């Protein structure tokens, strides 16, 4: 289980680190060619939308819930993919700004923490839901 969990957290950490670098690329205005890649991001988000819609609908959930899940997954997939690709391109074209500086260590640390919190939240969904509905933690 530790290998599987560690692999999942490692993958999520890598994806989030690339996305954080993508935010850095957007803020710095270093996203040359992003408009040309936009149709691919839209296509990927459409695939994620339909796949999530089919998977949610097949589980016996009601139609509105399946549609909301698919919409959230589609938009989230678009944002995450766009930030990841732009972050990877930025890191490859500006390695001094990312890897050589201490910024990479901070972004990686933030991604590790976010991955851990995300994993914990999914594993303890009932506690998280109860905290949100009651307005606080126990």
pLDDT in tens, 101-110: 788 889 999 9
User: Is 132 inside any structural domain?
Assistant: no
C-alpha to C-alpha distance for 100 and 92, rounded to whole angstroms: 12
- Answer yes or no: are the C-beta atoms of 93 and 24 closer than 8 Å: no
Domain of 68? 33-102
Q: Are 41 and 103 in contact (CB under 8 A)?
A: no
Alpha carbon distance 9, 25 (integer Å): 24
How many separate domains does the chain show? 1
In a domain, 138, yes or no: no
Angle between helices 2-28 and 63-93 (to 10 degrees): 70
pLDDT digits (tens, 9 = 90+) for 82-108: 999 999 999 999 888 887 778 888 999
Residue-wise burial string across 23-53, b where 16 or more C-beta atoms lie within 10 A, e elsewhere: ebbbeeeebeebeeeeeebeebbeebbeebb
CB atoms within 10 A of CB 10: 12
Instruction: For residue 37, tell me if it sits in a domain.
Output: yes
pTM score, whole prediction:
0.80
Percentage of the chain with pLDDT > 70?
97
The two tokens of residue 10 are 């490692």
The CA–CA distances, whole Å, from 34 to 96, 97, 114 equal 21, 19, 26
Is 46 within the bounds of a domain?
A: yes
């Amino acid at each position: 289980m530790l290998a599987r969990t560690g692999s999942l957290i490692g993958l999520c950490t890598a994806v989030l680190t690339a996305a954080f670098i993508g935010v850095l690329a957007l803020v710095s205005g270093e996203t040359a060619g992003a408009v040309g890649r936009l149709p691919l991001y839209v296509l990927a988000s459409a695939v994620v939308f339909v796949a999530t819609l089919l998977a949610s609908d097949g589980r016996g959930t009601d139609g509105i819930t399946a549609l909301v899940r698919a919409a959230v997954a589609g938009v989230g997939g678009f944002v995450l993919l766009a930030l990841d690709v732009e972050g990877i391109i930025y890191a490859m074209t500006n390695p001094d700004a990312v890897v050589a500086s201490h910024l990479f260590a901070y972004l990686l640390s933030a991604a590790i923490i976010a991955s851990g919190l995300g994993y914990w939240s999914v594993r303890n969904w009932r506690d998280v839901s109860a905290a949100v509905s009651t307005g606080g933690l126990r």
